[in-house]
Amino acid sequence: MATALDLSHNLASERSSIESTYELTKYLEYQLKEIKDVYLTYLGPPFNEKDFSPPRPNSTALSLPSAATRLELWHGLENQARLAQNQKAYSVLLAAVRELARSTLCPSLKTSLLHFCTGLDGLLGSISALMTTLGYALPPPSGQPEPGVEPTMNDFARKVEGFWILRELQSWLWRSAKDFNRLKRRLRAPLPPQKNIPLTCGSEGFT
């Protein structure tokens, strides 16, 4: 009986952790759509034009696992490997969005970006808690880039980097929501019925 109860408690804890992580991911995905529109308007043309798509720059701010991995390859990874890549990606993206906020001159946009960073930091904590709940070892923390290693970028190059930071973030949030939904479905299978243990009343009470 104790084993069945422990299993039920563990599954309930896993479901709760996955559900809260999924809901936070969907909230951030929705929030980012609004922030991205405002940010691209802030950058001005051609960044706010619908079909504009500059080449992805090779910079420290974008040194993260790509969200463009083909789905069949991504689904072929173990859950632990996917969660670890999620955590690494958001660690890099959180630092990048904080830098966007620092360099943004529009006060309301800066406030929105900083508020979004708080949610993103919460998502990182939620992923760590989920990995712990599932019994996975946490990956080592990502190292911070050394100051001064980036080549000097002109204004247009910085705008391209900001454009791609938000695009990568949008792709990762979409992919993460799919991952957490798959985990939720995996845990929806009903628990095996518990055996009823008959209670008998002896001369000294229930036994």
List of domains in the chain:
8-143+152-186 (1.20.1250.10)
Write the CA distances from 52 to 31, 79, 169, integer angstroms. Answer: 22, 35, 17
Q: Which of 34-48, 85-99, 139-153 has the lowest mean pLDDT?
A: 139-153
Per-residue pLDDT tens over the stretch 76-107 = 788 888 899 999 999 999 999 999 999 999 99
The secondary structure of residue 192, as a DSSP letter, is P
The DSSP output letter for 61 is G
Average pLDDT, the chain: 81
CA distance 84 to 38: 31
- Band (pLDDT 50/70/90 cuts) for residue 1 is very low
Place of tokens 């990995």: 131
Task: Name the band, by pLDDT with cuts 50, 70 and 90, for residue 139.
Answer: confident
User: Does pLDDT of 151 surpass 50?
Assistant: yes
Which H helix or E strand runs over 205? strand 205-206
The pLDDT value recorded for residue 144 is 52
Q: pLDDT of 181-197, one tens digit each?
A: 888 887 655 544 444 44
Indicate the SS3 state at residue 202.
Answer: strand
Q: For the CA atoms of 98, 104, 109, 112, what is the dihedral angle to 10 degrees?
A: 10
By the 8 A CB rule, do 133 and 77 touch? no
For residue 200, the model assigns a pLDDT of 42
Q: Dig out the tokens for 178 from the structure.
A: 């799919």
Alpha-carbon distance 107 to 104, whole Å?
Answer: 8
What DSSP assignment string belongs to 137-163? Answer: PPPPPPPPPPTT-SPP--HHHHHHHHH
pTM recorded for the entire structure: 0.80
Locus of tokens 């992923």: 127
The structure tokens listed for 197 are 């243990």
**Which one, of 123, 124, 127, 119, lies nearest residue 183 by Cα?**
127
